[in-house]
Amino acid sequence: MNSMRIGIIGAGGWGTALGLVLNHNEHDVFLWTHDPNLTHTINRYHINKDYLPNVILPPTLTSTNDASRLSDCDLILNTIPTQYIRATIKNFSLPLQNKLIVNGSKGIETESLKRISEIFKEAAATDAQNYTILTGPSHAEEVSREMPTTVVAASENIEFAKRIQEIFSNDKFRVYSSNDVVGCEMGGSLKNVIALAAGIIDGLELGDNTKAALITRGLAEMSRLGIAMGANPLTFSGLSGLGDLIVTCNSQHSRNRYVGEMIGRGKKLNQIIEEMKMIAEGVKTTESAYHLGLKHHVEIPIAEQIYRILFEDLEPLEAIKELMTRTSKYEWW
């Protein structure tokens, strides 16, 4: 495969990890960030100490603050947090129109309740045929250390998704393809809400039975809401659904699980966020999911209780009691 010039928007942990994958595959890759200090550190010392400590970067993986360099790229990879995508495109005049776009971020915009593909279409006039989401169980810390990882590339243009498979795949990073953009975007977003709940369970030390029930019923909620928005039901049993849900609910690397754990131990959300360097997307996604449930008339009781814990100061144990004493249901609901 011919080498491509690829610009990565965002020099956080995930952008850097995917930059390492693409660099390994002998593509010409650079990281764009608005932070000059981060660019200097990456280019001078070949480290990203805040986001991927103890990982040495190859000299060929560089960073820039010059957004105009994205103009010459064959492919653009987005990794900045969802809530900042629209403003970043506008404020830095990112030249993205008519570009091939791969999105590596997960979330739903709170103001508009739009998925990321919809944000790119509105803010950058992106063609759906040239857009792919890359998602699945893939912590940056492990990808950067070349631990075997599998993800899925989803596009309305299945040939483009297959092309992304070829660009990203190697013996440590395997990519599957899909044409269910809605399902893959919703799965990758909603699993962070359930991960917050998983963290609360860990913080309260409630055990394996509770965690297993959460993951199972959480997946049911993800599926119901996703299907109501047009997703393929089978997608939620795949990498972007069940796979990502399992790893995010159980991993020490999961920021969302960590936030939930701190809440379970009695800390307040504002304090937790202030102490974190990286962003836990699940907090904003919980707000979006709650309103999407209302909009589409879909019951998502776990997400609703997490919303109340985060934004209405409901005590976690009270939320669990309410979930356990709800009206009895048929399991396949």
Chain centroid offset of residue 167 CA: 20
The two three-digit tokens of residue 261, written as one number: 């754990």
What is the C-alpha to C-alpha distance for residues 110 and 240, in angstroms, rounded to an integer? 21
What is the C-alpha to C-alpha distance for residues 133 and 156, in angstroms, rounded to an integer? 10
DSSP state of 242: I
SS3 assignment, position 101 = strand
Helix-strand-coil split of the chain, %, nearest 5: 55, 10, 35
SS3 assignment, position 55 = coil
User: Which listed residue (162, 191, 284, 295) is catalytic?
Assistant: 191
Say which residues have a Cβ less than 8 Å from residue 90's Cβ, sequence separation at least 6. Answer: 123
Cα three-residue angle 199-200-204, rounded to 5 degrees: 115
What is the C-alpha to C-alpha distance for residues 279 and 12, in angstroms, rounded to an integer? 10
Instruction: At 16, give phi and psi (nearest 5°).
Output: -65, -40
The helix (run of H) or strand (run of E) holding residue 270 is helix 269-275
The two three-digit tokens of residue 297, written as one number: 């008339």
The two three-digit tokens of residue 66, written as one number: 């010059």
329 is catalytic: no
The two three-digit tokens of residue 226, written as one number: 């996703």
**Do the Cβ atoms of 198 and 260 come closer than 8 Å?**
yes
User: What residues are annotated to the active site?
Assistant: 191
